């Protein structure tokens, strides 16, 4: 499971000209799932993200987590995070989980983040053609792969 976490001043998801998610301050999480991902990966990744100290404290030092500041989250499924670009110029997405595996894992991840955060999170729509708009704050962008827990 891969996640691209972006600290945002604002973010939104639009599908067919209808805004389905919108936040002011918080995190936009792009999530890519593979067949080998497990519920343990979901729990670990959710815990890691909500505890990342990437928000400024009183001295504007990145010392606060999402839990500390109680900001909002949007989670968007993005299979292209598992693109393989080794051969040619057309990426291969063979490693990305198919919908029958990815949808339940995506939904479980959203529920886990909500449970860990103690409030609802907003989402895109799995498989939809989404327009994701964001204002990256910092910029702060963190990439986490559960295969590299180390």
98-150 per-position pLDDT tens digit:
999 999 999 999 999 999 999 999 999 999 999 999 999 999 999 999 999 86
Q: CB-hemisphere CA count at 13 Å for 91?
A: 9
- Which CATH number covers residue 81? 3.50.80.10
Indicate the pTM of the whole model. Answer: 0.96
Confidence of residue 44 (pLDDT cuts 50, 70, 90): very high
Q: Tell me whether residue 37 is exposed, middle or buried, using C-beta atoms within 10 angstroms of its C-beta: 0 to 12, 13 to 18, 19 or more.
A: buried
CA distance 20 to 75: 12
The domain tally of the chain equals 1
- Of residues 80, 85, 123, 141, which has the active-site annotation? 80
State which residues form the domain around 94: 2-148
Q: Could you confirm whether 80 is annotated as catalytic?
A: yes
């Amino acid at each position: 499971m891969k996640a691209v976490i972006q600290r945002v001043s604002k973010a939104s998801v639009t599908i067919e000209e209808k805004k389905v998610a919108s936040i002011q301050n918080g995190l936009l999480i792009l999530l890519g799932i593979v067949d080998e991902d497990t519920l343990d990966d979901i729990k670990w990744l959710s815990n890691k993200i909500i505890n990342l100290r990437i928000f400024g404290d009183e001295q504007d030092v990145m010392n606060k987590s999402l839990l500390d500041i109680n900001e909002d989250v949007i989670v968007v499924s993005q299979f292209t995070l598992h693109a393989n670009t080794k051969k040619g110029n057309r990426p291969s997405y063979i490693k990305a989980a198919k919908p029958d595996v990815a949808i339940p894992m995506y939904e479980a991840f959203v529920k886990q983040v909500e449970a860990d955060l103690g409030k609802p999170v907003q989402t895109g729509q799995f498989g939809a053609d989404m327009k994701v708009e964001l204002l990256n704050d910092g910029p702060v962008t963190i990439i986490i792969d559960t295969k590299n827990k180390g």
